[in-house]
Amino acid sequence: MLDVRHFSELGIDRTGPMSVDLSTAALVEAAVRLTEGTLSHEGALVTATGEFTGRSPKDRFIVDNRSAKEVDWGAVNQPLPEASFKSLHARIAAHLAARPHYVFNGFAGADGRHRMPVRVVTELAWHSLFARQLLIRPTEEELDRHEPAFTVLSAPTLKADPERDHTRSKTVIAISFSQRVVLIAGTAYAGEIKKAIFSVLNYLLPEDNVLPMHCSANMGKGGDVALFFGLSGTGKTTLSADPERSLIGDDEHGWSDQGVFNLEGGCYAKCIDLKAASEPQIHAAIRFGTVLENVVMDPETRQLDYASRALTENTRAAYPLEYIPGAVVPSVAGHPRVIVFLTADATGVLPPVLRLNEEEAMYHFLSGYTSKLAGTELGVTHPEPTFSACFGEPFMPRSAETYAQMLGDRIRAHGVGVYLVNTGWTGGPYGVGRRIDLGVTRQIVQGALAGDLDRVSVRRHPVFGGSVVEDVPGCDPSLLDPRSTWQDKDAYDRAARDLAQAFRTNFERKFPGASEAVRQAGPRP
């Protein structure tokens, strides 16, 4: 049964109607009735998030108290006074209690040994549908005894007051590990709900010797598991949705002593320029029950324009894992055989694939290099090179070294092969070169997963280190050497040196205590 202590303990009487654990159909009906969204010609719920079409990582805070003693405080994990959190908590609870609101009870973590009961309370029906599709939906029996270990209160129409609340802006995402509550206000971007829960798990799971990972995962017919690490827009969802393999999950996983398991019950796919020919599984998943964020639709025909960037490049589709044919449900599997680090290099100088040894893998995991793609965060309008430790720094409350140590231990224990795959640009930087063709990337990944790239000739890259794979079955060898794709070879050399120096500068600033072997495994200008 629903526990409303978050209202009653604050002395707040609930006056607005409350809808608890509505079905997908009921939530779609509510969203349409309240003009929160419109149905597409195929039945997906099309919504718009307004001012915020991406995450606001600079507005995320963690309450500074004894329950957060292992938090790595800084620009990513900003402290919030406990008194400010309590004041915000009271205002958000009162805001929700005074108007119609929706409650979803579910779970995070497909492995029952490491499963966290979660409650999401929202003022928007489509946000509740989003939570229902992205989290793990309980059975009737599980629902009867559901007691949340963490609760999310989301009030997008309530604005924070920076002077009073000690926030940066009118938007706030605040986590209290002592209260076991997440507060979200001032933004309607639903991805904040998903990533707030992920942040919580990234703090709690290591206590159970589980490595939380910002990665997708799939499994071959023989049970071989592959992990795809990468920031938003690098290809995690696209490359893991492979018709020849079974999807375990597209974004968030845990790695325990038993193997890999999904932290979610759904997928959150980018759908800018989506085409059935190149991404058939994702395209087919957009149907009734799917939530589409900021996808442009013709109001008369209800046809979707996936190529339109009128609202944002960060258009999204949220749907249950079961919408992907052959998905692993429950999404639990064994230990991985291959790990792929995905980067979208906007400078155009990284090779399409590098094979990494153990020290190189640790260096690139800690560096987490990619280019932020347009729309994934507030204010990002074109690709911007960035370093995000563990390929997910905005969601990691503990030190990056904590997660890296856990990953390194597992790579050694299970003999995992590691590859760095560039899904970014070739022939020049963004604006000059072109994005590496998805078909080429798929050939590279298929070669890595089949073990073919373990048996081909390689050479050491003179600047970035690692082993440049010189032959990928079915791939033009000239594409594997990025320098050869640039018309101006001197310009390539300058750009490569600049990026290598950026790697060194970032690593020396962030990880001065890293071992000498790992420090020397990185690029050299």
159-176: pLDDT as tens digits: 999 999 999 999 999 999
Tell me if 511 is assigned to some domain: yes
167 labelled catalytic: no
The catalytic position among 89, 91, 127, 195 is 195
The catalytic position among 60, 146, 236, 355 is 236
Tell me if 46 is assigned to some domain: no
**Residue whose tokens read 């526990």:** 3
User: How does pLDDT run across 421-446, given as a tens digit for each residue?
Assistant: 999 999 999 989 999 999 999 999 99
- pLDDT exceeding 90 applies to what percent of the chain? 89
The catalytic position among 6, 55, 89, 132 is 55
Tell me if 277 is assigned to some domain: no
Q: Are 31 and 45 in contact (CB under 8 A)?
A: yes
Question: φ and ψ at 284, to 5 degrees?
Answer: -70, -20
| Co-location of 383 and 510 in the same domain | yes
pLDDT (0 to 100) of residue 269: 94
Q: How many CB atoms neighbour CB 266 within 10 A?
A: 30
Tell me if 421 is assigned to some domain: yes
86 labelled catalytic: no
The catalytic position among 167, 237, 246, 485 is 237
Tell me if 30 is assigned to some domain: no
| Co-location of 377 and 392 in the same domain | yes
| Co-location of 198 and 238 in the same domain | no
| Co-location of 244 and 129 in the same domain | no
User: How does pLDDT run across 248-306, given as a tens digit for each residue?
Assistant: 999 999 999 999 999 999 999 999 999 999 999 999 999 999 999 999 999 999 999 99
478 labelled catalytic: no
455 labelled catalytic: no
Q: Work out how many domains the chain is built from and give that number.
A: 2
Of 159, 192, 208, which residue sits at a domain end?
208
Tell me if 69 is assigned to some domain: yes
Tell me if 155 is assigned to some domain: yes
If pLDDT is split at 50, 70 and 90, which confidence band does 152 have? very high
Handedness of CA 439, 445, 446, 452 (dihedral sign): positive
| Co-location of 141 and 221 in the same domain | no
The catalytic position among 232, 256, 290, 367 is 232
Q: Does residue 156 have a cis bond before it (omega within 30 degrees)?
A: no
Residues 349-378: what's their mean pLDDT? 87
| Co-location of 346 and 423 in the same domain | yes
Q: What one-character DSSP code corresponds to residue 514?
A: S
Residues 402-414: what's their mean pLDDT? 97
| Co-location of 459 and 378 in the same domain | yes
Q: Are 58 and 74 in contact (CB under 8 A)?
A: no
- pLDDT exceeding 70 applies to what percent of the chain? 97
3-state secondary structure of 173: strand
| Co-location of 172 and 224 in the same domain | no
Residues 103-131: what's their mean pLDDT? 97
The CATH number of the domain holding residue 183 is: 3.40.449.10
58 labelled catalytic: no
pLDDT (0 to 100) of residue 233: 81
Name the helix (H) or strand (E) containing 226: strand 225-229
Q: Are 394 and 60 in contact (CB under 8 A)?
A: yes
pLDDT (0 to 100) of residue 377: 57
Handedness of CA 407, 408, 412, 413 (dihedral sign): negative
Tell me if 319 is assigned to some domain: no
Residue 2 has pLDDT above 70, yes or no: no
Alpha carbon of residue 268 to chain centroid: 8
pLDDT (0 to 100) of residue 485: 95
HSE toward the beta carbon, residue 425, CA cutoff 13 A: 22
Alpha-helical segments (H) within 467-519: 482-485, 489-510, 516-519
Q: Are 401 and 389 in contact (CB under 8 A)?
A: no
144 labelled catalytic: no
69 labelled catalytic: no
| Co-location of 354 and 469 in the same domain | yes
232 labelled catalytic: yes
Residues 179-185: what's their mean pLDDT? 97
The catalytic position among 251, 256, 410, 441 is 251
The catalytic position among 101, 316, 337, 364 is 316
User: How does pLDDT run across 201-239, given as a tens digit for each residue?
Assistant: 999 999 999 999 999 999 999 999 999 999 888 999 899
Domain of 190, in residue numbers? 5-24+56-208
Of 208, 224, 247, which residue sits at a domain end?
208
* Rounded distance between C-alpha atoms, residue 395 and residue 313, angstroms: 22
| Co-location of 250 and 338 in the same domain | yes
The CATH number of the domain holding residue 412 is: 3.90.228.20
If pLDDT is split at 50, 70 and 90, which confidence band does 1 have? very low
Q: Which residues contact 259 (CB under 8 A, 6 or more apart)?
A: 225, 332, 333, 334, 335
| Co-location of 421 and 487 in the same domain | yes
The reported pTM is 0.94
**Residue whose tokens read 């991406």:** 54
If pLDDT is split at 50, 70 and 90, which confidence band does 382 have? low
| Co-location of 180 and 115 in the same domain | yes
